[in-house]
């Protein structure tokens, strides 16, 4: 029996745990310190097709990551698990410059050939939009894609860990290389996945590595509204915030993108109020909605905003992934799946050479 440790139970770690738990000859233990996790603070939007980022490797990962949800949902349903964390309810894109809508429409139309998941595309006026999202205003036209989806970050992690039935140990740990294998806590492991997000440097720097990953703070506010918003599309205006509706009258607004805050997890009421003021121009009902809570998480970014995954350089059988930024719920599941495959000597649709760990993890020069 091969013993595998996964450090970090966010979207990458939880997906890897789920797929590794299907293997009869692997015993998986998950370690998670339980605070600051980006996934638990996230209400994710799966809609990568409108990105104009020039990084082709990133777009390939994001596009295939959106597609991968189809397989993930099917796998979880086969194992009897609920898939209530995901719904393809569509996405509405707002732009201050109306001409950009035509550009995005043409871009998405081209990309739909390789990503049929985009679904129906249309530029809608306000009257037509009110049938999809009543009460939305402050625009003349917007772009609609029926294939856009929303994901509840905390719920998907819970469902994946429930389905995997792995042991989860809630504690902060370190990694100690041995002559054969690795020690984490008081246990020995043959293989390790470090899916610690922005905390990757905390794990590897004591072992003599420099890690190009920085933290970014993100805050999100949840509201409770009278109507069930389960069929409402996600709203994505220009800027940092989005409106993410959920069944049962839950509406999430977020998220902030705060650099130079380190690992600070305190709620900043002023910033949340600024975000609410901006969002209320498009959805005035937000002003009177009941606030049901706030969430704060720490995203991980590399200096060139690209994610990476694969083996840690010169650390045999230790795998990692980080730098997912604000697209973690889009790219995290497919990365977690690929890490699970790599541990078993298998390959997938992504080539790790396009997302090289050695570009971001380097041994310190003595």
Q: What angle do CA 291, 293, 299 make, to 5 degrees?
A: 130
Answer yes or no: is 229 within a domain: no
Residues 182-200 have a mean pLDDT of 96
Average pLDDT taken over every residue of the chain = 94
Residues 268-292 have a mean pLDDT of 94
Q: Domain of 167?
A: 2-40+154-213+304-363
Residues 133-148 have a mean pLDDT of 95
Answer yes or no: is 192 within a domain: yes
Residues 67-77 have a mean pLDDT of 97
Residues 289-315 have a mean pLDDT of 95
CA distance 186 to 188: 7
Look at residue 366 in the predicted model and tell me its pLDDT: 66
Answer yes or no: is 82 within a domain: no
Answer yes or no: is 137 within a domain: no
Q: The domain spanning residue 332 has which CATH number?
A: 3.50.50.60
Answer yes or no: is 358 within a domain: yes
Q: How confident is the model at residue 365 (pLDDT cuts 50, 70, 90)?
A: confident
Residues 278-307 have a mean pLDDT of 94
Tokens of 22: 């299907």
pLDDT in tens, 206-219: 999 999 999 999 99
Residues 29-45 have a mean pLDDT of 78
Residues 29-33 have a mean pLDDT of 94
35-39, 151-155, 196-200: segment of lowest average pLDDT: 35-39
Look at residue 52 in the predicted model and tell me its pLDDT: 85
Q: Decide if 220 contacts 43 (C-beta within 8 A).
A: yes
Answer yes or no: is 289 within a domain: no
Residue 49 has pLDDT above 70, yes or no: yes
Q: How confident is the model at residue 40 (pLDDT cuts 50, 70, 90)?
A: low
Look at residue 201 in the predicted model and tell me its pLDDT: 97
Answer yes or no: is 144 within a domain: no
pLDDT in tens, 346-364: 999 999 999 999 999 999 8
Residue 35 has pLDDT above 80, yes or no: no
What are the φ/ψ torsions at residue 209 (nearest 5 degrees)?
-110, 150
Look at residue 94 in the predicted model and tell me its pLDDT: 93
Higher pLDDT, 21 or 52: 21
Q: How confident is the model at residue 37 (pLDDT cuts 50, 70, 90)?
A: low
Answer yes or no: is 103 within a domain: no
Query: How many domains in the chain?
Result: 1
Q: How confident is the model at residue 57 (pLDDT cuts 50, 70, 90)?
A: very high
Taken in order 46, 75, 33, 202, is the CA torsion positive or negative? negative
What's the half-sphere exposure (Cβ side, CA atoms, 13 Å) at 258? 22
């Amino acid at each position: 029996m091969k013993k595998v440790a996964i450090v970090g139970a966010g979207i990458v770690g939880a997906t890897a745990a789920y797929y590794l738990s299907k293997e009869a000859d692997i015993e998986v233990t998950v370690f998670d310190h339980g605070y600051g996790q980006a996934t638990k603070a996230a209400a994710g939007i799966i809609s990568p097709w409108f990105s104009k980022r020039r990084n082709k490797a990133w777009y390939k990962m994001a596009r295939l990551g959106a597609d991968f949800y189809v397989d993930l949902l099917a796998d979880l349903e086969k194992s009897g698990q609920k898939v209530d964390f995901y719904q393809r309810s569509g996405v509405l894109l707002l732009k201050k410059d109306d001409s950009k809508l035509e550009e995005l429409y043409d871009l998405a139309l081209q990309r739909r050939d390789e990503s049929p998941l985009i679904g129906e595309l249309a530029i809608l006026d306000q009257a037509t939009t009110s049938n999809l999202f009543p009460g939305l205003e402050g625009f003349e036209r917007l772009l609609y894609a029926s294939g856009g989806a929303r994901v509840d970050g905390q719920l998907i992690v819970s469902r994946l860990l429930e389905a995997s039935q792995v042991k989860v140990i809630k504690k902060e740990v370190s990694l100690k290389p041995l002559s054969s294998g690795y020690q984490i806590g008081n246990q020995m492991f043959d293989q390790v996945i470090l899916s610690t997000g922005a905390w990757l440097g905390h794990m590897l720097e004591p072992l003599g590595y420099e890690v190009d990953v920085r933290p970014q703070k993100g805050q999100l506010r949840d509201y409770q509204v009278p109507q069930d918003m389960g069929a409402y599309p996600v709203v994505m205006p220009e800027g940092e915030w989005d409106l993410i509706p959920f069944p049962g009258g839950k509406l999430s607004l977020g998220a902030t993108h705060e650099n130079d805050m380190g690992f600070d997890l305190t709620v900043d009421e002023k910033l949340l109020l600024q975000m609410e003021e901006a969002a209320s121009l498009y959805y005035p009902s937000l002003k009177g909605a009941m606030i049901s809570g706030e969430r704060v998480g720490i995203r991980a970014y590399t200096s060139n905003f690209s994610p990476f995954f694969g083996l840690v350089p010169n650390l045999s059988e230790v795998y990692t992934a980080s730098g997912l930024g604000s697209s973690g719920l889009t790219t995290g599941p497919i990365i977690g799946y690929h890490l699970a495959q790599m541990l078993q000597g298998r390959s997938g649709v992504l080539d790790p050479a396009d997302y090289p760990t050695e570009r971001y993890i380097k041994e310190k020069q003595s």
